[in-house]
Amino acid sequence: MVIGGVSSDKPLVEVRGTLYTWTFGETVFQVDAARGARITCFSLADQNILTGPDVNALNYGATFWTSPQSQWGWPPPVAIDSEPYVADIVDRARGSVTFTGPIDPKLGLSVIKTVAVDPQRGLVSIEYALANQSGEMRTVAPWEISRHPIDGLTFFPAGAGGIYPPSNLAVTVAAGAVWFAYDTVAVTDHQKLFAHGAGGWLAHVDPARRLALIKVFPEVVATEQAPGEAAIELYADPQHTYVEVEQQGAFRPILPGGQARWTVTWRVRRLPPDLDLAPRAGSAALLAWARALATS
């Protein structure tokens, strides 16, 4: 196997206890099967763009929920969010692993996550399958949530639906995109953004580490958003410890015994040293750079 131009005979995915780790070049992607098959690390050169349990014992890394939240309230259903999943290595050398979660008794749903890595393109693909284990139709949307350190910059192309109430997170709309530049002074409570995106991608930049995460997913028309939710959601906690970058899929019915599948791809990249790509709201150069990655 050749990873990042270097020949390697070791498997692409390694297993230590409940931790499943993919390494390709300087990139490391890790999933903890014991914690809801949560993504706990996506790092480049030992710099993790996700937060860990040292920041918040419950809300860390990247997880998956069903939408709308009004169907389950708070906290998230443990069967989906945090209980152990059963892992099945489909192909260790090719980096394909399936994680199957338990059935949530209230929703009647279980979640299956399939992770695959493309080392040549430097991306990770996560397919989420919502399986209806009940005897009745269930209508839900898929929802992925990633947590990141504060002082970052999150942006995405603005959709036709715009920004929805009850958004109370201060953002800038410029260059055809919506920009959230974290400001400790402005975050005074549990604050959230509900917005409609376009193009099926978003980006989060960690300026201190000069890293960017680009997530790509199927575009959702405004009429297919879950009730009271939005295709793109951002959250900042009042303790100024982390931000959540969230995207949702289409709100559609699932027949008894059926499944709904939704795929998200992740890339982590270093910001180019070009001064024109300084991570600031409204940067047309930064927007173009991220868009090129998202569409490649």
Select from 35, 3, 4 the least CA-distant residue to 20: 35
pLDDT band at 275 (very low <50, low <70, confident <90, very high): low
Per-chain mean pLDDT for the chain:
95
CB 18 within 8 A of CB 4: no
What range defines the domain where residue 201 resides? Answer: 2-294
What is the CATH classification number for the domain harbouring 114? Answer: 2.70.98.10
105's enclosing H/E stretch is: none
Q: CB within 8 A of 263, min separation 6: which ones?
A: 125, 126, 127, 128, 217, 218
Domain count for the chain, please give it.
1
| pLDDT, tens digit (0-9, with 9 covering 90-100), for 143-171 | 999 999 999 999 999 999 999 999 999 99
Q: What is the DSSP letter of 104?
A: B
pLDDT at 118 over 50: yes
Q: Say which residue, 280 or 11, is predicted with more confidence.
A: 280
Q: What is the 3-state secondary structure (H, E, C) of 208-232?
A: CCCEEEEEECCCCCHHHCCCCCCCE
Q: Which helix (H) or strand (E) holds 66?
A: strand 62-67
Spatial distance between the Cα atoms of 150 and 63, rounded to a whole number of angstroms: 18
Angle (nearest 5°) at CA 39 between 235 and 289: 65
Location of structure tokens 């890339």: 267
Stated pTM of the model: 0.95
Structure confidence by residue, pLDDT tens digits, 23-73 = 999 999 999 999 999 999 999 999 999 999 999 999 999 999 999 999 999
- Comparing C-alpha atoms, which of 67, 74, 65 is closest to residue 36? 65
Give yes or no for a contact between 56 and 241, defined as CB atoms under 8 angstroms apart: yes
Instruction: Kindly report the backbone phi and psi dihedral angles of residue 115, in degrees, each rounded to the nearest multiple of 5, phi listed first.
Output: -105, 130
Per-residue model confidence (pLDDT) at position 79: 98
Name the amino acid, one letter, at 10: K
